[in-house]
Amino acid sequence: MEHVKRYHSLKTIVNGRELLIEGPISGSELASYRFDDGLIAFRIPEQQHQALIEIADLPEGRIIVAREDDLVLGYVTFLHPDPLERWSQAKLPDLLELGAIEISHLIRAGGVAKKLLEVSFADDAMEDYIIITTEYYWHWDLKGTGLDVWQYRKVMEKVMGSVGMVWMATDDPEICSHPANCLMARIGKRVPPESVEAFDGMRFQNRFLY
Ligand SMILES: CC(=O)SCCNC(=O)CCNC(=O)[C@H](O)C(C)(C)COP(=O)(O)OP(=O)(O)OC[C@H]1O[C@@H](n2cnc3c(N)ncnc32)[C@H](O)[C@@H]1OP(=O)(O)O
C-alpha cells in the first residue's frame, strides 16, 4: 500500500498565542523545531521529541503539530500499532493507530486537540485507513486537569468524536481492565470489507467464553 501524505494547515489563536496547526510534517522539519517542556504526558520532552521525529519518517507515520513560531505546543501521532499489541496481529497495511495526542498546559481547552484532528483528517488519504485509538485512563493527566476518569473520558470522546471516531467493543484484557478505558475507531470510506473483517477478528478473540 502506498501511504499518501498530503500537507494541510490552519491558523488559530489560543491564549494570545498565534498557532499554526500543520502536517503531516517530515522528521527533519520536526527536528528543526523546539519542543515545549510541558509536553510530559508520555515521556520526558527530549525523548518524546526524538520519538516523534522517527515516527514522522516512517512510511505510514504521520505527525501533525501545533506550533507557535518554532515552538511545538501540541501534537498527534498516527502509525502502525506496536508489534506487541493485538492490533498488529493481522498486519493490516491500512490500519493506523492514533498513538498519542498531547497539548501543552499553556494552550489547553482552547480547541487545539480538535483542530489537530481536523487537520489530520483534512487529508482524503485518511479514508483509506481504519484509524484506532486505545484509551487507557493511566495515560490521562487526571492530576493536571483535576477531572475524574469519567469527566476525562468525556473530553476524549469529544476530541475523538469530532472526526467521527466512535466507541467500539472489544475483549482486549487491558481495555476491559477498567470501565473508563475504551477502544475508539474510524473506518475510512474506501477501506475494503476484508480489512474490516480482519479488524473485527482482532477485536474479539475470546468468543468461546460467551
Ligand atoms: C491516545 C491518547 O493519546 S490518550 C491520552 C490523551 N492525552 C492526554 O491525556 C495528555 C494530557 N492531556 C492533554 O494533552 C489534553 O488535555 C487533551 C489532549 C486531552 C485535550 O486537549 P485540548 O486541546 O485541551 O482539547 P480541546 O480544547 O480540543 O477540547 C475538546 C473538548 O473537551 C473539553 N475540555 C478540554 N479540556 C477540558 C477540561 N479540563 N475540563 C472540561 N472540559 C474540557 C473542551 O471544552 C472541548 O469541548 P467541546 O467539544 O464541547 O467544545
Domain limits of the chain? 8-203
CA 134 to ligand 1: nearest atom: 1
Q: How far is the CA of 39 from the centre of ligand 1 (A)?
A: 14
Q: Which residues pair with 21 in a beta bridge?
A: 10, 66
Residues 180-209 have a mean pLDDT of 92
Write down the ipTM of this complex: 0.98
- pLDDT category at 8 given cuts 50, 70, 90 is very high
pLDDT at position 208: 60
Q: Is 66 left (phi over 0), alpha (psi -120 to 50) or beta?
A: beta
Q: How far is the CA of 28 from the centre of ligand 1 (A)?
A: 28
67 DSSP assignment: E
Q: How far is the CA of 83 from the centre of ligand 1 (A)?
A: 28
Residue 209 has pLDDT above 60, yes or no: no
Residues 3-12 have a mean pLDDT of 98
The DSSP element (H or E) to which 53 belongs, if any, is: helix 45-56
Q: Of the CATH numbers 3.10.290.10, 1.10.3720.10, 3.40.630.30, 3.40.50.300, which one belongs to the domain with range 8-203?
A: 3.40.630.30
What percentage of the chain carries pLDDT values higher than 90?
A: 97
Q: Answer yes or no: is the C-beta of 165 below 6 A from any ligand 1 atom.
A: no
- pLDDT category at 207 given cuts 50, 70, 90 is low
Q: Is 17 left (phi over 0), alpha (psi -120 to 50) or beta?
A: beta
